[in-house]
A and B are shown apart, each in its own frame.
Chain A
Amino acid sequence: MDKAATTEKPEFNPTLASTAVGMLERFGVVVLGVLLLLVVPLSLDVFRLGLAAKYLCFAFPAVGIVLIWGYGGILSLGQGMFFGMGSYMMAMFLKLESAANPDSSSGTALSAFFGAAGLPDFMVWNSIEELPWFWEPFHHVWITIPAIIILPPLVAFILGYVNFRNRVGGVYFTIVTLAIAAIMAIVIIGQQGYTGGINGITDFKTFMGLDLDNDTAKYVMYFITVVLLLLAVLVGRFILKSLLGRVLVAIRDQEDRARFSGYDSAMFKAFVFAVGALFASVGGAMFTIQVGLASPSLVGIVPSIEMVIYAAVGGRLSLIGAVYGAFLVNGAKTFFSENFVEYWTYFIGALYVFVVMFLPLGLAGILDKLRDVGKRSG
């Protein structure tokens, strides 16, 4: 019950508990776990499973957005920035590994021609002769993974704290996040010698010596993604159920009162913003491993707004809803674009309009309505 923090816990109602709706309410994480760990892998072929894994990567930032927007009241239109940080850090590691690998076909041809072995191919084209210092640490997986987990939350915390401390909040903070996401995309595109520019970083061969493109690897990566995602949802729940979550909601609803009561509201908000960044970063890293590229098109404003849409479609007060939202929107994109190749964007637009007009609380809102109906009839 992700809504525990906002609404009072519904009294135990035997008729409700026996309905499907009640089950979903009570055992949301279990249902999600069964769906993702059993139903999805058993019913999809490897190609579709790979797509499902990609959708789930977008669920990470969406879960974070539920925390920071739904419960923290901070609308961030810049989560793509943290998704991108995780994605690029993982891509840097993978790129260095394949650049050092003599079997990588295009890499060998390039270095044979330019005589610069061991450098990522785009640096070779951009006549960069030495690996830039900030690339050096990403030779090592045991620096890369901690960096993915630590750096984006740290950046988010500092960014959040400085702004919230100076009472920059609400729409102004939203604009700040939007601007920073845009700046990051522009820097990545502009500094192509160091970042791969608009092409992004592509063409990875292996991850720690393991081939990423066979069926076993796909299943393994899918399950790792699911486990991490469920973990993120549980961490989110834990936060919301703790005192921290209640203070957060208090700050969202009446920040001044919370502050007068002695809570350092900037600290709370910055903390939850950092947690959101952590989720987004992990999602980005998993995306890069599975899809095989990092791209500036996943960093800027548009993807950041899409991530908010996933959360909105799922219901911005429901952590689990965010997973369904990301899955539904991305699944719909694939479905419509495969079947109505010319007009699919209209369908996606219609989906957004439908959700905003008729389901202001997203998919989770349907559940609420059904529960109300159940209550009335019960």
Chain B
Amino acid sequence: MSDRNRRKFIKTSAMAAAATALPMPFIWPKGASAATVKMGILHSLTGTIAIAEKSVVDSELLAVEEINNAGGVMGQQIEAVIEDGASDWPTFAEKARKLIEKDKVASVMGCYTSASRKAVLPVFEKLKGLLYYPTYYEGLEISPNIMYTAQEATQSSIAATEWLYENRGKSFFLVGSDYIWPRTTIKLCKITLDRLGGTVAGENYYPLGHIEFSSAINKIKATKPDVIVNCVVGGSNVAFFKQLKAAGIIDAGTTVLSLAVSEEEVSGIGSENTAGTLTCMGYFQSLSNPTNEKYVSAFKKKYGANRVTGDTLECAYIAVHLWAMAAEKAQSFDVEKVVAASSGLEIDAPEGKVKFHTDNHHLWKHARIGEFLPDGQAKMLYESPLIEPDPFPKL
């Protein structure tokens, strides 16, 4: 079954790639597709998080276009209904309700921060909607109405810690933004270090949006750790990397590994500041496989040659395909049937072959460690085997 789906996906993508080359009027014959199915897209297009979420929408729309060009889902064209969560959690809840109750969407691709997901979760559970969530996150959640297409914390943190311990040194300094994802990730990192026999030189948390990291930098200078694990999130990374660079820590050979910095963020931080540091993600734009090359070129063709993809973008892209595949497999848009059909569903994604776990709504994924190059792309140093998702780790 999964093999057939995979072939179908490849076929779909190939047709999509061919179709995008054709002039628009040919693809959209007027009134040809009377049957459409609505799919919601719910991200922040305004507000503080918009900078990260806008491109996620682009990636999802690319997938929608591919599927539509290849004939849609069960012969129905996908009509994307876009709503703005405005970086505000109550607004996310309002818009989720609107998409399900008013627009009657079959599924929603949405949310970026955990906070926004927590705000919409009760809405999806009560109204029996279906959300595909594309961001790596802390785990500790399995909602019957949410499918998670990115890494949960154990899938990156444990693998990264083990690799760093093997290859870079035994004393770790841990820095993060102060909320649930960095705290869970760092906790897993500490537990892994305990098991391996490494040491924690220091642990610092800063509020989101913080731009003054001198206290951490002074501690790093004093304790001289082998490795700095960076779980700082969002715009704060600009200040953090600049200050690390200015303090000479990156150039002195201390390994800095970020768990929330992808190619997308690097373009904001400035690639001269991140060059030589490491990142752990499920996907890099530089991965060489045919599916990824097709995805990256289609993305650049649609949105501009200077645009970059990244982990969340790719997870959002496969989310749309995974939903379409599950609906085809179930021959229904009914949420329960789509969820049931998703169990064990395999996809040949840009990040390689990944598949849904049979019962916990997360994907089996690779953890990949890459080193940022001066051009902002990542060179892969390590690729783990597929890691089983374990949102409720036994510690």
Question: B-facing mask of A196-220, CB < 8 A → 1, else 0?
Answer: 0111101110000000010000000
Partner of B122, one of A47, A109, A202, A298: A202
Interface residues in B136-165 by Cβ distance below 8 A to A read 138, 140-144
Beta-carbon contact of B98 and A47 below 8 Å: yes
Pick from A46, A199, A213, A345 the residue with the most CB of B within 10 Å.
A199
B103-122: CB near A (< 8 Å → 1, else 0) gives 00000000000110011011
Q: Say whether A113 contacts B392, CB under 8 Å.
A: yes
Q: Which of B141, B143, B183 is A126 in contact with, Cβ under 8 Å?
A: B183
Tell me if B45 and A341 are in contact (CB < 8 A): yes
* Neighbouring B residues of A46 by C-beta, 8 Å: 101
Residues of B within 8 A of A295 (CB): 88-90, 115, 119
Q: Are A334 and B94 in contact (CB under 8 A)?
A: yes
Smallest CB separation, B295 vs chain A (Å): 24
Q: Hey, which chain B residues are within 8 Å of A100, CB to CB?
A: none
- A106–B143 CB distance below 8 A: yes
Question: Given the complex of chains A and B, what is the CA–CA distance between A94 and B265 in angstroms?
Answer: 38
A213 to B101 Cα, complex, angstroms: 12
Q: Which positions 167-217 of chain A face chain B at CB distance < 8 Å?
A: 186, 189-190, 192, 197-200, 202-204, 213
CA distance in complex: A97, B101 (Å): 27
Q: Is A135 an interface residue (CB 8 A)?
A: no
B interface secondary structure, majority:
helix
Which residue of chain A has its CB nearest to the CB of B123?
A: A292
Task: Select which of A125, A203, A341 is within 8 A of B121 by beta carbon.
Answer: A203
**Contact, CB under 8 Å: A199 / B178:** no
Name which residue of chain A comes closest to B95, CB basis: A337
Proximity bits, A103-139, B CB within 8 Å = 1, else 0: 0011001100100000000100110000000000000
Report the minimum CB–CB distance from B392 to chain A (whole Å). Answer: 4
Is residue A50 contacting chain B, with contact meaning CB distance below 8 A? yes
Contacts of B183 in A (CB 8 A): 125-126
Are B46 and A198 in contact, with the CB atoms below 8 A? no
Shortest distance between the CB of A214 and any CB in chain B (Å): 9
| B374 interfacial by beta-carbon distance below 8 Å | no
Asked whether, in the complex, the Cβ of B140 is within 8 Å of the Cβ of A110, the reply is yes
Residue contact A199 to B207, C-beta cutoff 8 Å: no
Contacts of B82 in A (CB 8 A): 341
Does A291 touch B at the CB level, under 8 Å? yes
Q: What residues of A have a CB within 8 angstroms of the CB of B207 in the complex?
A: 186, 189-190
With an 8 A cutoff between CB atoms, is B35 at the interface?
no
Contacts A47-B98, A213-B126; A341 near B83 (Cβ below 8 A): yes
Q: Bound complex: CA of A192 vs CA of B178, how far in Å?
A: 9
Number of residue pairs across A and B with beta carbons under 8 Å? 103
Please determine whether B208 and A198 come into contact, CB atoms closer than 8 angstroms: yes
A192-B178, A202-B121 in contact; A337/B89 too (CB < 8 A)? no
A344 to B180, CA, bound (A): 31
Find the B residue at minimum CB distance from A342: B45
The size of the chain A interface, using a CB distance under 8 A, is 38
Q: Name B97's closest neighbour in chain A (CB-CB).
A: A47
Q: How large is the interface on B (under 10, 10 to 19, 20 to 34, 35 or more residues)?
A: 35 or more
Alpha-carbon separation in the docked complex, A342 to B183 (Å): 34
Partner of A297 from B89, B98, B123 at Cβ < 8 Å: B89
* Residue of B whose beta carbon sits closest to that of A48: B102
Q: Does B93 contact A (CB under 8 A)?
A: yes
Pair B184/A200 contact, Cβ less than 8 Å:
no
**Chain B residues whose CB sits within 8 angstroms of the CB of A109 once the complex forms:** 142, 392
Q: Find out whether the CB atom of A293 lies under 8 angstroms from the CB atom of B180.
A: no
Partner of B118, one of A113, A203, A213, A338: A203
Within 8 A of B (CB), among A70-114: 105-106, 109-110, 113
CA gap between A297 and B93 in the complex, in Å: 13
Chain A residues 304 to 333 lying within 8 A of chain B, measured CB to CB, are: none
B84, CB-defined interface residue at 8 Å: yes
Beyond A105-B125, A192-B178, A341-B82, whether A298 also contacts B143 by CB under 8 A is: no
Q: Which of A50, A110, A199, A345 contacts B180 (CB 8 A)?
A: A199
Contact (Cβ within 8 A) A125 B180 = yes
CA distance A297 to B121 in the complex (A): 18
Nearest CB of A to B119, in Å: 6
* Contact A50–B97 (Cβ < 8 Å): yes
Contact B121 A291 (CB under 8 A): no
* CB of B28 within 8 Å of the partner chain: no
| Known pairs A50-B97, A122-B180, A295-B90 / 7 extra A-B pairs, C-beta < 8 Å | A125-B138, A197-B180, A199-B114, A199-B179, A203-B121, A295-B119, A344-B84
Leading 4 A-B pairs by shortest Cβ distance:
A199-B115, A47-B101, A113-B392, A213-B126
Chain A residues in the interface with B (C-beta under 8 A): 46-47, 50-51, 54, 105-106, 109-110, 113, 122, 125-126, 186, 189-190, 192, 197-200, 202-204, 213, 291-293, 295, 297-298, 334, 337-338, 341-342, 344-345
Give me the interface of B with A, judged by CB distance under 8 Å: 45-46, 82-84, 86, 88-91, 93-95, 97-98, 101-102, 114-115, 118-119, 121-123, 125-127, 138, 140-144, 178-180, 183-184, 207-208, 392
21 contacts between A and B (CB under 8 A): A54-B90, A105-B143, A109-B392, A126-B183, A189-B179, A189-B207, A197-B180, A199-B89, A199-B118, A199-B179, A202-B121, A291-B90, A291-B93, A292-B93, A293-B122, A295-B89, A295-B119, A297-B89, A338-B98, A341-B45, A344-B84
